[in-house]
Every structure is written in structure tokens, then in C-alpha cells.
Chains A and B, each alone.
Chain A
């Protein structure tokens, strides 16, 4: 129950769409979405394959709660092998398309093979068709969104698509849905484009029912909503300021990576913060922020809808960018701003629009441009490589120009599209790449927030804040405060966050709900909706099972414990200012304890008894 029980298998090589029953035993062990789709992926592909070959598969998966009124239950994820990291990739997105998949009657869609020419999937309830996409290949997500709505004469069609960057092989391209929500990280869009699959357009009118105990479910859902209203982060901080509420906070604690992690505080942070987004601009008297916005079913509504001043240099001759669209989240504002040293709010908003329009992960984009800026300022690359761009830290013009090039795979943008690891290796300075397993860091400096160093090093998809967000405890004191500058207890903290998050993701809920919800708020909602025995303990065990399954995939793909590492800069170059001044990240103190708590060997390999205990 709660699952629809239907899986759509789309063979792009053969151009066939077929329906098959969901594997119920796996659903009871892996819940849904991230966990369940990872189970399918590991059963169906060899982890050693080339991620961009037709042998790779790409799964779009909902959770059992997706489409129900449980607050934040609008999520879906894309699971595949990542071309950026070589690890399992799982990129989670909000918006409305997850709900639409569910309303059309599907738990997940498995794409396999490769189409001989561009296609898109048109899905209307149980009717699935692959239609030619030659006409829209080479166009941006925003362009084809309009085209598809017109073509099918259906304003309620929900669309997920890849942009030009993915077509051009940019390794950090995401899949954009509902114009500005993204399954953003790890190059899941690159895999989609490699299959000649341009878009998925879906309309579902069947509804989501199949709730095990509707009365108990509505009680649990309403109790959950009440908790979100009572929590200050979910009722005030996030709706008013979005994730950008963190910009000034993280800067003050000295964990704001700046100029490719050379510094840990950014002097321009206030100018690109949430508070700045509310301030009327001197140019047109309007604030950057138009309104907050919710994803499907979300009673928090942290989303930002922004505009750029019409006179701003980025859009002076581009009226198509004058309307409102998805504004800056903290990660994007940090990567595009602080990490590149750019403090021009409207320039960052424009670059963010381009990331949405052509499906680029703004974290990887900003970080890679930051690495390129350091290469340039160190004299390793010159205008000869950049095509005449003066690539200095703090240059909004350089950031904008390079983003436009990367979006279309042109000029030096093609090299940015390789990601920071490959770029820095190419120019003989691999140590300047701020990545783990080839994926760029998010917005928390592990010298100032020690637990995040371990979370980054051990994340199953490369550096990521969403796999174990210990910032919640170390900075915000949720569910309880720990000292960000010490390593004691962080191994257990990271493991606890990783396991819980894997379960939350797999339910179809948003991890931001956990700024107020504990697993005790979540378990009753899942238990009332789904078959199976879902308690706090069983959910945490499910999360641990998922974590070990992902780990096993990565080890089978050829990664080792040696890949659980951080760049030298974070281990050897001390923070220069702020509360963490003089600190490096003490990963070596935390990692062995973490392995032990996980039931892994000293080399980071899950022991047989651990896998047996978890039935992996």
C-alpha cells in the first residue's frame, strides 16, 4: 500500500515502454525512491560500466509518501551511475513532477539503453510513448518547456528535461523539472542526455490513494504539520529567508569557504545574503525577492522567486530574463558568490537562472570556476586558455561569461564542464580541486565545522551536504547542539544523520522537514500509509541498509577507502580568520571510529556480518 505497485520500463534502444509490478519484497526492505531505486540499479547494472554508455540505466523514482498530503511529500529522485564521480548517483528534486508521476500511476520509471536519435517520453496516466525530439535537441529547458506545453495543448503537463550543457557533455548537468527545480548533482542530466532522452512530460489524473489506514494517516499528517508550524526554522526562518538564512550565520562562524577555500570568511557575504534579497535595489526600487514558493504539498515553502533589475548588465539586451524565476538558494549563492569572490547579487541571480535554464549544478559550476580562477591567478592558465576572459576572483563579468559558455558547451566553458577535478588535473594542479570522489564541495568549510569533513569524505556520492547534514547539530543546535570545532562524537553524529537522511529521502519527504521533525514525527506517517512495520528503529535500520548498499556499489565500481579523503588544503592549511582560526580538519581522528561504528574494516569495507545483519 501507498506504493502504486507499478514500474514503467522504457527501453530506449528498442523504443518500447512496458509495465511491470514493483518488487514488493524490495519495497519492504528499501522503502522507496533513493533506497528502492538503488536496489534496482545494483541488481540491474554492473557497477564497473562506463556511466555514459548505453549499459548504464537511469531511474526516476518516487517514494511511498510522494503525492500524499504529508508535508513536503513531493519529492522524486534520479538514480544512476554518475559520470562525474563513478559512484552511485542519487539526485533529489522537489517541484511537482514527483506528484505527477504518482498520479499517473507509477512508482518509478527505469530508462535503459540509448535511443538512436533524440526522443522524449510522453506519459499520460498508463499511456507511455516515446516521441521524436529532434526538433528540440539543442534547445534550453525553458525553451522546450514552452514547446511541449504548446505541442500537447496541456498547461498542466509537468516536465523534466535536460539542457544544452548535458547535450554537450558537461559532467555536472542536472535534470530540471517545473522550470526551476533540479535533480542537480553528480551529472544525472549528463547520463539522460547520453541516452538521447531530452525530456519526460507527464500528466497524471488517477490520484494517489491506496493508503493503508486513511484515518490514522490523516491524524499523523496533521500532527506532523503542527510540529512544522511550531518549529522556528520551518515556520519562520525558511519561509522568510529560504536556505539563504544561513549565509550570514555560516560566515560568522568562520565556515564560509571563500575563493576556492583559501579563506573561510567572505567580506561580501552580507551583500549576497537572504537579508540583501529583501532589500529594495537602488536601481529599480524593487527587492530581488518577489515571493517565497512551495514545492508540492510543502507547508514550509522555502523556495525563492526572484527578479533581476532590468538595467543590470547581465540582462540589458535580454528581455526574456526580466520575469521572475527561481532565485538563489544558499548553496548556489555560496558557490557562485563567495567561492568565486563575486558579491553582485543580481549577477548571481542571473547565473542561477542560467543554471536552471540549461541544467547545470550551481555548486559544481561555481566551484569549478573558482578553481579556474585560482589557476588563472597563479599563472597556470592565461587568457590563451580562457579565450580572453580575465578570470580573476571577484569578477562578475568573468563568472557570467563563463557560465554562458558552459551552458552551451562553447570555448573555455567546455573545460569548466569537466568539473574541477579533471580541470585541475589537466593543468597539473590536482591539489587545487576542492572535491571528494570528483564531486565539488558544498557551502560549509570542514575546518570550521569538523563533522562536515567526515560527512564529505564518506558521502556515497562524493562531497555533499545532503547525505549527513551535521551542520544542523553543530551550528543550529538541532536536534541538539554539538561543538563544531571538536571531533569528539562526530563519527556517531555523521552516521546517525546519514542513516536517518537515507530513510527520509526514500519516503519521498524533504530533508528540510527534519529541521523540526524527528524520526518519531515521520515514522507514524509512513506506518499509517504503508504496508510493513515502520518504526523509528526500523527506519534507521533501513537507512543503514541503504547506506551500505550504496557503499557496496561504490566499492564494486572500483573505489576504495582511500577515496574517503579531503583535499590537502583542508587538512594542512589552517583557517586564517574567525572562530576556526588556526584549525584544519581532523579527518584522521574521525574516520577510523566511523568505520568501526559502521561495522566496516579498517580499510572501509563492510564486514560480512554487517551485510548479513542488514540483509544487504
Chain B
């Protein structure tokens, strides 16, 4: 079964535990600025929104990479950056419509979500289940269920 990250911004409290977990897994330090998942705060709306790579099936980043550094992990479906091959040209950062692949100055390479090899740390660290790792074909089911619950109230 292919799984995807399911993000429900309305549950997010903005604590950044996901960013800590992500950066610790990938960089070995607790460093929000190096996280591949980002929580955006919309202060005047009182909203928080975690955002990261959705692992497009036809990934712009993958297709545009001139050195074929981005490959598909056949187990998880994640588009992974091969740091050996990446030359830091940043073309993928331009191609990605969502901005979820980004350049890192220290390494001279790009970095993006790789689903932690199939066990995403962000989802495990989220205290409110705003981030979950679920069947890729069912990421909308939570919301469907909520609306279904509303629909039976008028019966």
C-alpha cells in the first residue's frame, strides 16, 4: 500500500515539533531552519499550516533535474535527492510549483522531504495528529467523514 502524508492545518497548534523531528532525522541537530516540513503562521487569521512535498506522481523536480539526481523510491513513492549526483543548480527549486524543494547553503545541494524512508518523523512527533501518514488513496477520508457526519444530522 502506498502511503502519503495527510495534513490537516485546522489541527495544528504551531509548536514546531515536526520541524524538530525532521531536522534531527536528516541533519542530526534540532534545527527548524533545516526542516523539510515547514509550519507557517498566519497570525492575524489565527491559523497555522504545516506544508511539505506532496510527492507528485509526475514530479516537476524530477523531470527538470539535468543530472537525474532525483529518483523515485519504489517502496515509498518518495522523490529522493541523490546528494552524490546533485550539483546544486537549483533548477528544481524553480520547477516545483509548491516551493517544497529548497537549496541548502552549507551543503551546496537541495533538500526535500523523503518520507524518512517510509516512517515519517514529523507525523510521529505531531502532538495533535495534524500530520498523519495514511493510505495514499484515502487522504481525503477524514474530511469526507466529517462532512458525512454533518449530513446525517439533518436526517
A residues apposed to B, CB below 8 Å = 67-69, 71, 96, 99, 103, 156, 179, 204-209, 225, 229, 239, 290-299, 301, 303, 305-307, 323-325
Contact = CB atoms under 8 A, between A and B. Distances in A.
B72 interface: no
A205 B31 contact: yes
A199 to B, nearest CB: 18
Contacts of B128: 301
B14 A293 contact: yes
Contacts of A103: 31-33
Contact of B46 (A99, A301, A305): A305
Contacts of A67: 30
Nearest to A96: B16
B127 A229 contact: yes
Interface stretch (B19-27, B63-71, B139-147): B19-27
Interface in B75-91: none
B43 A295 contact: no
B45 A323 contact: yes
B47 A291 contact: yes
Nearest to B125: A69
Given A324-B44, A325-B43, A294 B14 contact: yes
Interface residues of B, number: 26
Contacts, number: 84
Contacts of A299: 15, 17, 127
Contact of A294 (B15, B24, B27, B46): B15
A306 B46 CA distance: 8
Question: Would you list the 9 A-B pairs with minimal beta carbon distance, nearest first?
Answer: A207-B31, A323-B44, A207-B29, A290-B46, A324-B46, A294-B15, A301-B13, A299-B127, A305-B46
Contacts of B16: 96, 99, 294, 296-297
Interface string B1-44: 00000000000011111001101100111111110000000011
B48 interface: yes
Nearest to A209: B29
B127 A292 contact: no
Nearest to B31: A207
Given A69-B24, A299-B127, A323-B45, A294 B13 contact: yes
Given A225-B127, A293-B14, A207 B30 contact: yes
A205 B14 contact: no
Interface string B47-66: 11000000000000000000
Contacts of B13: 239, 291-294, 298, 301, 303
Given A205-B33, A205-B34, A208-B29, A291 B46 contact: yes
Contacts of B29: 206-209
10 contacts: A68-B30, A69-B17, A206-B29, A291-B48, A294-B13, A297-B15, A301-B127, A324-B43, A324-B46, A325-B44
Nearest to A301: B13
B111 to A, nearest CB: 13
Nearest to B128: A301
Contacts of A301: 13, 15, 127-128
A299 B15 CA distance: 7
Contacts of A156: 33
Nearest to B28: A209
B31 A208 contact: yes
B11 to A, nearest CB: 10
Contacts of B24: 69
Nearest to B44: A323
Interface string B102-125: 000000000000000000000001
A290 B48 CA distance: 12
Contacts of B47: 291
B23 A207 contact: yes
A293 B42 CA distance: 12
